[in-house]
Amino acid sequence: MEKYFDIEYIWSSLPQLLPFLKVTFLVVGLSVLIGSLFGLVLAFAKMSNSKLLRVLANAYTTVMRCTPSIVLLFLVYYGVPAFAEGLFGLDLQDIHTGVYVVLTFTLQFAAMMSEVARSAIQSINKGQYEAAVSVGLTPFQAYRRIIFPQAFVVALPNFGNGLISILQEGALAYTIGFVDVVGKANLIIANNYNTHQLEIYIALAIIYWVLAIVIEKIFELLEKAFSKGSRSLKVS
Amino acid sequence: MDTSLINVPFLIDTFFVALSGVPVALLVTVVSLLIAVPIGFFLALTRINQIPVINTIAKIYVSFVRGTPIIIQIFVLYSFIPLMLNGIFKKYNIEYSVYDINPLWYAFIIFAFNTAAVLVEVFRSALSTVDKGQLEAAQSVGLTNAQAYRRIIIPQALVTALPNLCTATVNLIKATSLGYAISLYEITLKAKVAANVGYNYVEAYIDIFIVYLILCIVVEQLFKWWEKRLSRYKYANA
């Protein structure tokens, strides 16, 4: 077995892989940013008085929860250009694959965030909002100054989990020919004539593992920092 | 792309092709769960009781599985297992080519490996919701530890574990869509192969999407029904 497995390959591939983390981060960052905004809109739709909006938003979340990322990715990758051409006569051939990747994971992250935001906002006592409005704040001000800062702290751990899972789902972007860390790893393997795959994949696993641990720790610290004034039971 | 947007006859035909992959996807899901549940439960117990070495190993294992994407776990295990088996076969002069192994076996191992780690956390949090007094009371009336767990602790913990168990199952079904990486002919790969002929990828993926949607909604309803049944005891005296 010794001659098939050479630990040297793990260390030598790391410096080749790490620069491509930038691409991964860019995709994840954009998806998280746009997805959070969209997710917030969905969360409000779920809490709105209109039954239609509630049903639509809940149906969207259910559908997203039930669709494997890889299926959604290909559906977007093949479906969006086909529909754009068929319905509007738009030619999307030259669009960078990164756009489809971001679009897919934005859709997915929005579904996750809508649940996180909804439960966080609903966890804040309704009296807080009423008190804010009763002292003369507009509903928008009440949300911005009173509800959001509190809901934000509640949402933090789940937001962190969502971030980690979107980072992991993002590993599938290579399937549509997008070159991020995983794509680069596959290129390295192809250059090695498909030998030493195991070592390269282990290097990849180490990168993701370390990233997940770091993100987890950052969110633990953030949670601690933000819940300083909190008087609830979950003291840190 | 044809002149028409969607090739409807192909859409309908391929739907049944995708549907024919459901048994394989379900088989992998069920077998993986059957392997993963006992392992997950055992490791959860060692985590709760802080059993020295195993506790640490379980912690690292769970952290690894939760910290890495499933596709990477598939990549690593799918290249590691044949290498290891090859070594073992050579050592003991077993005449068997590792490349003849049915991908189903890999699927069972890989997805059980992944799901067991998820279940450790599910069971751990569920078991910790049961009051310690329940175990002590059971022991004080003369039940053995195993009896106390089987009759008193597990029935209560299971109710709290069910929603998470449902999520884990749905995630597992979704994860089987990555079976293409080990050339496992399940829903996604079957429909994709059908689409290769005429580049009807949009239709194929719409079909795959619908099949997973149906599968997932059915599983969620089953779990809801099960949860209702299991939590009957809560309302018995109400």
* Cβ pair A71:B208 closer than 8 A: yes
Could you tell me the residue range of the domain that residue B212 belongs to? 1-21+188-238
- The span from the CA of B89 to the CA of A85, in Å, is 55
* Cβ pair A213:B67 closer than 8 A: yes
> Are A220 and A211 a contacting pair, CB within 8 Å?
no
State the distance between the two ends of chain B, measured CA to CA, in whole angstroms.
63
Q: Are residues B155 and B96 in the same domain?
A: yes
Closest chain A C-alpha to B216 CA, distance in angstroms: 6
| Residue in chain B lying closest to A166 (CA) | B69
* pLDDT for B237: 55
pLDDT at position A235 over 50: no
- Three-state DSSP state, A63: helix
Structural domains in chain B (count) = 2
Q: With left for phi above 0 and alpha for psi between -120 and 50, is residue A96 left, alpha or beta?
A: beta
* pLDDT for A75: 92
Q: What is the DSSP string of B95-136?
A: ---GGGS-HHHHHHHHHHHHHHHHHHHHHHHHHTTS-HHHHH
* pLDDT for A57: 94
* Cβ pair B70:A168 closer than 8 A: yes
* Cβ pair B79:A79 closer than 8 A: no
Q: Are residues B121 and B141 in the same domain?
A: yes
pLDDT at position A236 over 50: no
**Paired tokens of A56:** 């639509």
pLDDT at position B2 over 60: no
Cβ-Cβ contacts under 8 Å, B67 against chain A: 164, 208-213
pLDDT classification of A199: cutoffs 50, 70, 90: confident
- The span from the CA of B227 to the CA of B169, in Å, is 14
pLDDT at position A59 over 80: yes
Q: Which of A71-80, A131-140, A223-232, B65-74 has the weakest average pLDDT? A: A223-232
Q: Are residues B203 and B85 in the same domain?
A: no
Closest chain A C-alpha to B139 CA, distance in angstroms: 31
> Are A21 and A93 a contacting pair, CB within 8 Å?
no
Task: Please give the average per-residue pLDDT across A167-185, as a whole number.
Answer: 90
Q: Tokens 């099960």: give the residue.
A: B226
The residue of B65, B205, B217, B223 whose CB has the most chain A CBs within 10 angstroms, and thus the best one to mutate to test that interface, is: B205
- Three-state DSSP state, A160: helix
Within a domain: residue A159? yes
pLDDT at position B1 over 50: no
* pLDDT for A234: 53
DSSP classification of residue A48: S
Within a domain: residue A95? yes
> Are B40 and B115 a contacting pair, CB within 8 Å?
yes
> Are A106 and A40 a contacting pair, CB within 8 Å?
no
- The span from the CA of B68 to the CA of B63, in Å, is 9
Within a domain: residue A190? no
Indicate the average pLDDT of chain B: 89
Task: Please give the average per-residue pLDDT across A15-39, as a whole number.
Answer: 92
Within a domain: residue A199? no
* pLDDT for A204: 92
CATH code of B67's domain: 1.10.3720.10
Backbone angles phi, psi at B210, to 5 degrees: -65, -40
* pLDDT for A4: 65
Size of chain B in residues: 238
Angstrom distances, CA of residue A216 to CA of A27, A112, A211, A223, B166? 19, 17, 9, 11, 24
H or E segment and range at residue A11: helix A8-17
CA angle at B167 for the pair B165 and B171, rounded to the nearest 5°: 115
Q: Are residues B164 and B56 in the same domain?
A: yes
Report helix angle B103-127 to B154-175, nearest 10.
140
Could you tell me the residue range of the domain that residue A35 belongs to? 22-176
pLDDT at position A111 over 90: yes
**Letter for the amino acid at A57?**
A
A–B interface: beta-carbon pairs under 8 A: 108
Within a domain: residue A11? no
Within a domain: residue A91? yes
Cβ-Cβ contacts under 8 Å, A158 against chain B: none
* pLDDT for A211: 93
State the distance between the two ends of chain A, measured CA to CA, in whole angstroms.
48
Within a domain: residue A193? no
pLDDT classification of A95: cutoffs 50, 70, 90: confident
| Residue in chain B lying closest to A4 (CA) | B83
CATH code of A40's domain: 1.10.3720.10
Within a domain: residue A208? no
Q: Are residues B127 and B192 in the same domain?
A: no
Task: Please give the average per-residue pLDDT across A203-217, as a whole number.
Answer: 93
Task: Please give the average per-residue pLDDT across B205-228, as a whole number.
Answer: 92
| Residue in chain B lying closest to A208 (CA) | B68
Q: Are residues B198 and B177 in the same domain?
A: no
Q: Are residues B36 and B153 in the same domain?
A: yes
Widest Cα–Cα separation across chain B? 77
Cβ-Cβ contacts under 8 Å, B72 against chain A: 171, 182, 201, 204-205, 208
* B119-140 per-position pLDDT tens digit: 999 999 999 888 888 889 999 9
pLDDT classification of B223: cutoffs 50, 70, 90: very high
Cβ-Cβ contacts under 8 Å, B177 against chain A: 68, 70-71
> Are B111 and B182 a contacting pair, CB within 8 Å?
no
Query: Per residue in B43-71, is it b (16+ CB within 10 Å) or e — as a string?
Result: bbbbbeeeeeebeeebeebbebbbbbbbb
Task: Please give the average per-residue pLDDT across A7-29, as a whole number.
Answer: 87
H or E segment and range at residue A29: helix A21-47
Cβ-Cβ contacts under 8 Å, B89 against chain A: none
Q: Which of B184, B199, B230 is the last residue of a domain?
A: B184
Report helix angle A148-169 to A97-123, nearest 10.
140
* Cβ pair B5:A74 closer than 8 A: no
Indicate the average pLDDT of chain A: 88
Q: Are residues B171 and B116 in the same domain?
A: yes
Structural domains in chain A (count) = 1
Angstrom distances, CA of residue A178 to CA of A40, A187, B129? 28, 11, 44
